[in-house]
Chain A
Amino acid sequence: MPDIQQIRADFPILHQQVHDKPLIYLDSTATSQKPRQVIEAMARYYQEDNANVHRGIHSLAERATASYEGARLKVARFIHAPSPKEIIFVRNTTEAINLVANAWGRAHLKPGDEVLITQMEHHSNIVPWQLVTQATGATLRYVPITRQGELDFAALDQLLTERTKIFAFTAMSNVLGTINPVAELIKKAHAVGAITLVDGAQSVPHLTTDVQALDADFLAFSGHKMLGPTGAGVLYGKRELLEAMPPFLGGGEMIREVFMDQSTWNTIPHKFEAGTPAIAEVIGLGAAVDYLTNIGMDWIHAHEQELVSYAWDRLSAIEGLRILGPEPARRGGLLAFTLEGVHPHDIAAVLDMFGVAVRAGHHCAQPVHDFFGIPATARASFYLYNTLEEVDVLTEALEKARAVFGV
């Protein structure tokens, strides 16, 4: 059984004061903090092994390549992918979705076809589809959400038709916290012949992910939200889909042969990794996966459930505070809320005075906020290093914000 104080001891950044108060970091949905194991893995690479990967003959290049490809294998095991060849390293979730929208979308979409997404998507799973449907003449459709902040399943059944070519949806909303029934959604899409892209930016860091059990066609996620560094993200894709897709970016690394008039492509995953990759970051992501595996995803999820249930109870008791999205049992470890009479930016500013870091704004999910008729929310999000005592401080700070604003 992991010990929370031991976990916290692994995160150097947590041991500091902000405005003379101990830092309480409740913004892991935006980006997670990094354990020293990740920081050290990256430093070790630069101090001992730094070289460009692949094709190098010298010892450093060999070690760098082994570490880089070793991280690919770790990630493949972490999400239960059949093969590391199906793991493509990109910068982040956004780039992974853009890769599919462009490489798969431009090759397969035509007028009359439909791309289905949902009203609870992050902008990164909206805008790439707007761009590719505009370019191809395909139509973009949205599954609406209910007042409870969940997908409208009756509408979904109407919207999924043989015209639907791809259904792209989030596994967990970054605003509502809603955990979507991913396996069921994929099954419904496959029943009409559509393929699926799962935005796993919020789910992969917090829940066990098994792409084979889910039968996911594509899964996109970011390393920096799961204890890894910024700049390393992942696209998982089924082998036959990746092999049939044209490249996204052209350049070195992704080719087999280059002639003056044409080129042939490298095999997957390299076909989609043009140019020198983020080597140190990918190695850091590998160390993050080791760390998470060591702690155990089941423990992490249970810990976050405890935190979010407790926070739900404490925050709900504050007068004028309204939480968006479903009850704790059906959500991940985050709460977006409004406080009557205090703008979310002001909530975040007052909380910062108490050392509490929360995010305010539309969290790159404007359609969700439009649906609820509010311009912005404040959001507190939890990860493996947060504690119940921190939720208490959050609650007290929110009461003080009300006092400052006289509400």
Chain B
Amino acid sequence: MDDFYRENILDHYKYPRHKGHLADPDIKFRDVNPFCGDDITFELKLENDKVVEVAFDGHGCAISMASASMLAEELLGKSLEEVKAMDKAFILDLLGIPIGPVRLKCALLPLKVVKAGVWGLDAWEKENEGHDQ
């Protein structure tokens, strides 16, 4: 359990980074996990295909919220090319804890929202075909 709820996960859960809204986002996308009700919206401001501002809002468990907060930190300053390369392995590395199949959808929801916001839900689903997403 100490492994699962590591200090940095709890820290991001309690003190989420970039939580809130942008004044004039270029990208805004929301999705929910119908099984557990996790609800996440991401907003991005882009300049020259680079993420210059980021915000997220919503509610969910420690895993989904920490994943959103950590992802938001990572997104800032990244090019869309670099964002596109972010995948499941990237998120699991970021969280740094063992994530079983049950909590995988909590962990991946933030990335799903970001990528579906930029490239569409179909692209995300295609990318994750065969995964339990």
Q: Which residues of A contact B (CB under 8 A)?
A: 343-346, 349-350, 353, 360-362, 366, 369, 375-376, 404-406
Contact = CB atoms under 8 A, between A and B. Distances in A.
A406 B10 contact: yes
Given A343-B61, A345-B61, A345-B106, A361 B36 contact: yes
B60 interface: yes
Nearest to A344: B61
Contact of B5 (A346, A366, A376): A346
Given A346-B63, A362-B37, 10 more contacts: A345-B63, A345-B106, A349-B4, A349-B61, A353-B1, A361-B36, A375-B37, A376-B36, A376-B37, A405-B5
A375 B63 contact: no
A375 B35 contact: no
Interface of B: 1, 4-5, 10, 14, 35-37, 39, 59-63, 65, 103, 106
Contacts of B39: 375
Contacts of B63: 345-346
A405 B36 CA distance: 20
B66 to A, nearest CB: 11
B36 A353 contact: no
Nearest to A362: B37
A340 to B, nearest CB: 13
Contacts of B5: 346, 350, 404-405
Nearest to B10: A405
B36 A345 contact: yes
Contacts of A366: 37
A353 B106 contact: no
22 contacts: A343-B60, A343-B65, A345-B36, A345-B61, A345-B62, A345-B106, A346-B61, A346-B62, A346-B63, A349-B61, A349-B103, A350-B5, A361-B35, A361-B37, A362-B36, A362-B37, A366-B37, A369-B37, A375-B59, A376-B37, A404-B5, A405-B5
Contacts of B36: 345, 360-362, 376
Nearest to B37: A375
Contacts of A369: 37
Interface-centre pick from A346, A361, A376 (highest chain B CB count, 10 A): A346
Contacts of A375: 37, 39, 59
A353 B65 CA distance: 21
A264 B9 CA distance: 64
Nearest to A349: B4
Nearest to A354: B1
Contacts of A404: 1, 5, 10
B15 to A, nearest CB: 12
3 closest pairs, A vs B, by CB? A345-B61, A343-B61, A353-B1
Contacts of B62: 343, 345-346, 405
